[in-house]
Amino acid sequence: AFGERKAKAERMFNLMDQFLKNDPISLQKDILYHVEYTVGRSRFSFDDFEAYQALAHSVRDRLIERWHDTHIYFKRTKPKRLYFLSLEFLMGRSLSNSVINLGIQDKYAEALNQLGFEFEVLAEQEGDAALGNGGLARLSACQMDSLATLDYPAWGYGLRYEYGLFRQIIVDGFQHEQPDYWLNFGNPWEIERIHVTYEVKFYGTVEEVDMNGEKHKVWIPGETVEAVAYDNPLPGYGTRNTINLRLWAAKSSNQFDLEAYNTGDYINSVVNRQRAETISNVLYPDDRSHQGKELRLKQQYFFVSASLQDIIRRFKEEAHNNFDELPEKVSLHLNDTHPSLSIAEVMRVLVDEEHLGWNKAWAIVCKIFSFTTHTVVAEGLEKIPADLLGSLLPRHLQILYEINSHFMEDLKKRIGLDYNRLSRMSIVEEGAVKSIRMANLSIVCSHTVNGVSKLHLDTLKIRTFKDFYELWPEKFQYKTNGVTQRRWIVVSNPSLCLLISKWLGTEGWIRDADLLIGLRDHVDNADFHREWKMVKKVNKMRLAEYIETMSGVKVSLDAMFDVQVKRIHEYKRQLLNIFGIIHRYDCLKNLDKNDRRKVVPRVCIIGGKAAPGYEIAKKIIKLCHAVAEKINNDTDIGDLLKLVFIPDYNVSVAELVIPGADLSQHLSTAGHEASGTGSMKFLMNGCLLLGTADGSMVEIIEEIGLDNLFIFGANVQEVAELREQGSTLKVPLQFARVLRMVRDGYFGHKDYFQSLCDTVEVGNDFYLLGSDFGSYLEAQAAADKAFVEQEKWTKMSILSVAGSGRFSSDRTIQEYAESTWKIDPCRCPF
Ligand code: GPV
């Protein structure tokens, strides 16, 4: 029998061997196969988009193969697994990233060339997967890439929004939002799992029933929706490991139907079906403020319930229902508070369904959750009105109250009857609207609470979570954010990638970013400088072309490309940037011909989306356009100053903009940016940073030295002192003058801009634009000066990349794995 099995296995391997070879001829065959049979076009006649689709499907095949191998290996070895729970993943495009991580980029390029296509051109056909808002969501994507590359047995869980983040279009300088129909042309990167479905329940009542003489709470739900899994394989670099990002979509369930059909109203019941499917329809576009919306809460629970059913099913299969083993097998990570209903859900499953008893369940829960917070200010923390939660999830509300009453009892024993402190720390906020504080819940129930930079943790300790820190100092840690060099150098900046590998003599830095430090050895080499400048030039050309197509503005490659791209927020102070530009314009106008010759020409580039309901942010966008119109049409100024707004900033636009920047701006008022990750992407691309000592910038300064960037503005302590001064605060004359110009209608739209101006008027200027303006201008002047000394600038640029190794998400993930999640690599051997 053994011989027979062996022969069979060999036959199968021989057969397998015929598939998925990676030589150019095999790749061509596969691509043409998919043109004909998947896309359904003749292999003799197809366009670029169809070629992209076929290409993507051939890559997908290779991903699926590795995905299978990885998961069979995980199943066999049963390591402790990390489940990364996040409501947002900003993946961007997948094609280039996948073939690079699979290590077959060159083979594909060759294969396509012979077919008469160019890889880069086809890659442009792909739309972005924008299932998230900003930094938090892109961080999840970078971290998934690192988890795969470092061979960790991890799963990502999220929602498959039918509409991702809105598309930003600009009409007359105003932002308009359009839906992002990203799935309209199909999505080759996902695998629909029609058989992996779970029922998710909502509403209803809780009843107490007797079971074998014990009283048990039973939730009788009122509505059932089905969750269907869509798997997105994510390949690691330099490994066969390919992990899974499982996204849930809502489908109406049969149960839902039965009830409706029985009422006899066939048409309406079919129409009602659709209602259920709206749960996963659309991503909420407000970054950092989701308050009290039922649909949002439904999304959160839908996601939590489906993910946990999946996780617990897998655990039971492997651990034979022994829940004592849960903490050794499962680590659940809460990416911000958005998935924190998981805590109540795990308690409900363990207590109501598995009948473990409250204390035992609680002991388990306290060992499996970890939590990362991405915010600084307490006002930004998520709260859910108790009424809303109670009607949608009646049993969960009871559980949350019970968790809180146990916590309050314990707390009284530890701190006594300090009622103010007790009420601050309570998970339940009593007040006009009784609500559940999701951050307090997450802190109480997690074994580790992580900040995203050193400064962020310091702020959490002394301000936001002071009470909790004093109670459990050992719970609080920080893991400075990082970004993946695979996406942010290898994919987005191929010429820099080649140059780095050439001078380091290795591609090892793609897996080990610390090796970048080796660039310091060549920092004075003239040949290296020359090649370095060439690379920047090539990237600036690419960006200049893009700017011209998008906005019609022709920009000079000799100018300094000065970029600020990120979500529009008052605290990020895009307004400070615009005021700086107005000031620069004003100065230029007052210079004579001779002096103008000494001025460093600038192309100022701003991009970012405003939340649709955020009026002030939208006014900032309009002001940017109004100022741009004035400056760009002033022939007297010409190439000395240009201002362009790049519409619809997203991951793929970032891949183009960041490598082309000379200088990038990170202007948040100190103490407001938890970390900031854009700065790290610019750093890796050899752009110099100009910014405040906020978030992770403090650690960037430590790493590359104050001499190599331009830091300005009040630090965290000074910000506190300045705010005390209120209306007696000193503001430079230049600031008052710029403000006056806007108020007086120098850029038109006089009435419209008044309320924007009010936000920075003395006494009202919460983000301290006025008091930081002077030192901001000085930092800008220092940047101008450095740019003229080409050699010095190039050196600073090289040292920026050389010092960026610490800001790889590989480092972040390794820290999490070792000290928070306690998971080990599990590398698929075949
Ligand atoms: I809270 N962040 C975000 O993008 N959206 C949010 O809703 C919240 C935070 C960001 C922070 O603002 C950044 O400082 C940080 O770098 C990023 O999360 C990742 O941690």
How does pLDDT run across 605-653, given as a tens digit for each residue? 999 999 999 999 999 999 999 999 999 999 999 999 999 999 999 999 9
Q: Are 442 and 343 in contact (CB under 8 A)?
A: yes
Phi-psi region of 676 (alpha: psi -120 to 50; beta: other; left: phi over 0): left
Written as one letter, the residue type at 738 is V
Report pLDDT for 12.
63
Q: Are 684 and 485 in contact (CB under 8 A)?
A: yes
β-pair type (369-372, 330-335): parallel
Ligand 1, closest atom to CA 677? 16
Phi-psi region of 749 (alpha: psi -120 to 50; beta: other; left: phi over 0): left
Using pLDDT thresholds of 50, 70 and 90, give the confidence band for residue 277: confident
Q: Cα(565) to centroid of ligand 1, in Å?
A: 14
Using pLDDT thresholds of 50, 70 and 90, give the confidence band for residue 211: confident
Alpha-carbon distance of 565 to 63, in angstroms, equals 32
Does the pLDDT of residue 165 top 60, yes or no? Answer: yes
Using pLDDT thresholds of 50, 70 and 90, give the confidence band for residue 17: low
How does pLDDT run across 756-804, given as a tens digit for each residue? 999 999 999 999 999 999 999 999 999 999 999 999 999 999 999 999 9
- Report the nearest-CA residue for atom 3 of ligand 1: 136
Using pLDDT thresholds of 50, 70 and 90, give the confidence band for residue 5: confident
Using pLDDT thresholds of 50, 70 and 90, give the confidence band for residue 268: confident
Report pLDDT for 829.
87
Alpha-carbon distance of 457 to 370, in angstroms, equals 15
Q: Are 828 and 822 in contact (CB under 8 A)?
A: no
Q: Are 459 and 465 in contact (CB under 8 A)?
A: no
Instruction: Determine whether the shortest distance from the Cβ of 135 to ligand 1 is under 6 A.
Output: yes
Q: Cα(677) to centroid of ligand 1, in Å?
A: 9
Report pLDDT for 792.
97
Sign of CA dihedral 351, 355, 359, 361: negative
Q: CA dist 469 to 380, 443, 673, Å? A: 19, 10, 20
β-pair type (435-437, 448-451): unpaired
Q: Are 289 and 169 in contact (CB under 8 A)?
A: no
Residue of 136, 289, 484 to test ligand 1 pocket, by largest number of atoms within 8 Å of CB: 136
Ligand 1, closest atom to CA 380? 1
Written as one letter, the residue type at 784 is D
Does the pLDDT of residue 754 top 70, yes or no? Answer: yes
Catalytic residues: 374, 566-567, 572, 677, 681
Does the pLDDT of residue 526 top 80, yes or no? Answer: yes
Instruction: Determine whether the shortest distance from the Cβ of 563 to ligand 1 is under 6 A.
Output: no
**What average pLDDT score do residues 682-695 get?**
98
How does pLDDT run across 397-444, given as a tens digit for each residue? 999 999 999 999 999 999 999 999 999 999 999 999 999 999 999 999
Q: Cα(574) to centroid of ligand 1, in Å?
A: 17
Alpha-carbon distance of 94 to 558, in angstroms, equals 33
Alpha-carbon distance of 586 to 633, in angstroms, equals 15
Instruction: Determine whether the shortest distance from the Cβ of 482 to ligand 1 is under 6 A.
Output: no
Report pLDDT for 371.
98
Picking from 238, 302, 235, 312, the residue whose alpha carbon sits closest to that of residue 81 is 312
Radius of gyration in angstroms for the set of CA atoms belonging to the chain, rounded to a whole number: 28
Does the pLDDT of residue 104 top 60, yes or no? Answer: yes
Report pLDDT for 378.
83
**What average pLDDT score do residues 712-716 get?**
97
Q: Are 164 and 197 in contact (CB under 8 A)?
A: no
- Report the nearest-CA residue for atom 6 of ligand 1: 288
Does the pLDDT of residue 15 top 60, yes or no? Answer: no
| Residue whose entry in the numeric block shows the structure tokens 């609207």 | 433
Q: Cα(375) to centroid of ligand 1, in Å?
A: 6
Token readout for 653 is 């636009």
How does pLDDT run across 491-524, given as a tens digit for each residue? 999 999 999 999 999 999 999 999 999 999 999 9
Q: Which helix (H) or strand (E) holds 741?
A: helix 733-743
Instruction: Determine whether the shortest distance from the Cβ of 464 to ligand 1 is under 6 A.
Output: no
Report pLDDT for 260.
58
Largest CA distance in the chain: 96
Using pLDDT thresholds of 50, 70 and 90, give the confidence band for residue 554: very high
Q: Cα(735) to centroid of ligand 1, in Å?
A: 29
Token readout for 142 is 């970078």
Alpha-carbon distance of 656 to 711, in angstroms, equals 25
Report pLDDT for 257.
56
Q: Which helix (H) or strand (E) holds 604?
A: strand 602-607
Residue of 86, 335, 375, 377 to test ligand 1 pocket, by largest number of atoms within 8 Å of CB: 375
Picking from 541, 539, 534, 546, the residue whose alpha carbon sits closest to that of residue 556 is 541
What is the value of ipTM here, to two decimals? 0.98
Q: Are 422 and 411 in contact (CB under 8 A)?
A: yes
Ligand 1, closest atom to CA 375? 1
Q: Cα(336) to centroid of ligand 1, in Å?
A: 9
Alpha-carbon distance of 316 to 325, in angstroms, equals 10
Alpha-carbon distance of 259 to 828, in angstroms, equals 47
Share of the chain above pLDDT 90, in %: 91
How does pLDDT run across 123-159, given as a tens digit for each residue? 999 999 999 999 999 999 999 999 999 999 999 999 9
Q: In the predicted model, what is the mean pLDDT of the chain?
A: 95
Report pLDDT for 482.
98
Report pLDDT for 499.
98
Q: Which helix (H) or strand (E) holds 372?
A: strand 369-372
Token readout for 754 is 């008044």
Instruction: Determine whether the shortest distance from the Cβ of 288 to ligand 1 is under 6 A.
Output: yes
Q: Are 143 and 814 in contact (CB under 8 A)?
A: no
Written as one letter, the residue type at 357 is G
Which neighbouring-strand residues pair with 477? Answer: 450
Report pLDDT for 562.
98
Q: Cα(582) to centroid of ligand 1, in Å?
A: 29
Using pLDDT thresholds of 50, 70 and 90, give the confidence band for residue 272: confident
CB environment 242-252: b (16+ within 10 A), e (fewer):
bbbbbbbbbbb
Instruction: Determine whether the shortest distance from the Cβ of 696 to ligand 1 is under 6 A.
Output: no
Alpha-carbon distance of 180 to 27, in angstroms, equals 32
Alpha-carbon distance of 387 to 436, in angstroms, equals 10
- Report the nearest-CA residue for atom 19 of ligand 1: 136
How does pLDDT run across 42-96, given as a tens digit for each residue? 999 999 999 999 999 999 999 999 999 999 999 999 999 999 999 999 999 999 9
Picking from 798, 575, 572, 518, the residue whose alpha carbon sits closest to that of residue 691 is 572
Q: Are 107 and 51 in contact (CB under 8 A)?
A: no
β-pair type (383-385, 435-437): antiparallel
Alpha-carbon distance of 762 to 402, in angstroms, equals 48
Instruction: Determine whether the shortest distance from the Cβ of 481 to ligand 1 is under 6 A.
Output: yes
Full DSSP string of 337-383: STTTHHHHHHHHIIIIIS---HHHHHHHHHHHEEEE-----GGGS-E
Written as one letter, the residue type at 742 is V
Phi-psi region of 334 (alpha: psi -120 to 50; beta: other; left: phi over 0): beta
Instruction: Determine whether the shortest distance from the Cβ of 677 to ligand 1 is under 6 A.
Output: yes
Using pLDDT thresholds of 50, 70 and 90, give the confidence band for residue 266: confident
